Chains A and B, each alone.
Chain A
Amino acid sequence: MLTLHCPYCGIDADETELAPGGEAHLRRFGPGSSDDDFESYLFARENPKGVHFERWRHAYGCGKWFHAARCTATLEVFGTYPAQTTEPPQDIRDAISAKRPGWTWRTFA
């Protein structure tokens, strides 16, 4: 069971109060992009054992989307942060580095 801290209302929400939104920080490739870029935007997802970044919505609460950094193997949560960013903030990266030195995820480290 997962408990995630909503960065908007400050509630520590139970997994059943949240709606999962899949992988975080996807870059959209739309009209005019190459077929390869469009295909990977639609279908290619990370499936790591370890550090992962996801989108969640506080569906049964304040209704806002946010980001979460967690470990898929242990369910340890490194931190949550607002949706208005295209990459994990430094304090989240530092929190991950403290627990999982040398981690990488897509282009982030």
Chain B
Amino acid sequence: MSDMTMSCDAILTRRDTVGMITLRGNLGGTKFKSAVKAAVGVVVPKTNRVAFEGDRGACWMSPDEVLLVLPRDDVPEALATIGAALEGQHHLAVDVSDARHVFALDGPDAREVLAKLSPADLAPNAFGPGDIRRTRLGQVAAGLWMAEDDVVTIVCFRSFGDYLDALLRTSIEAGPVGFH
């Protein structure tokens, strides 16, 4: 049966070298902005947006939270930088690299693969380059962002990593619906 089915044109890879810092605080604050700039070299992204310079960047997670993304080896130094920049100011900065699992989904059918698993609107006018959408994939929470068209990064809790890996591969193998 499976040879009869055309699978989705998208490649799924696990990315184990990605480092992540959860940073909570006053996103509009001057010190907060300079802490993000100093740690990952970008401005604090607007609501539901991401900002990236190469492999370093920041993702808007909630009105008081951003997820900083950077090479894993650079996390300790970035935490020290943030601690110094936000000295005396209420904030929380935690290395969550080991708490999360990161996937890259790359290809023209990336939207098809994800839209079958999520209630989110993933049409190009609702989810495009620079956008992040926190949603549900199958039965687990996940964050999706698109660095460029058809290249999606997916983050989930590490304990859900194997489940999501299998879920995404099943969605790829089952082929496109043809909606997007």
Instruction: For the complex, give the distance between the alpha carbons of A83 and B134 in Å.
Output: 20
Shortest A24–chain B CB gap in Å is 20
A98 within 8 Å of B (CB atoms): no
B133 within 8 Å of A (CB atoms): yes
Chain B interface residue count, CB cutoff 8 Å, equals 14
Residues of B within 8 A of A62 (CB): 61-63, 134
Q: Main SS of the interface on chain A?
A: loop
Question: B48 contacts A11, CB within 8 Å?
Answer: yes
Residues of A within 8 A of B134 (CB): 60-62
Within 8 A of A (CB), among B61-81: 61-63, 65
Shortest B60–chain A CB gap in Å is 8
Question: A60 contacts B62, CB within 8 Å?
Answer: no
Shortest B100–chain A CB gap in Å is 15
Question: B47 contacts A10, CB within 8 Å?
Answer: yes
Within 8 A of B (CB), among A6-43: 8-12, 14, 16-17
Within 8 A of A (CB), among B48-104: 48, 61-63, 65
Shortest A60–chain B CB gap in Å is 5
B171 within 8 Å of A (CB atoms): no
Question: B63 contacts A8, CB within 8 Å?
Answer: yes
Contact of B133 among A11, A16, A59, A64 (CB under 8 A): A11
Question: B119 contacts A9, CB within 8 Å?
Answer: no
Instruction: For the complex, give the distance between the alpha carbons of A9 and B131 in Å.
Output: 12
In addition to A17-B136, A62-B63, A63-B65, 12 A-B residue pairs with Cβ atoms within 8 Å of each other are: A8-B62, A9-B47, A9-B63, A14-B119, A14-B136, A16-B136, A17-B119, A17-B135, A60-B136, A61-B134, A62-B134, A63-B62
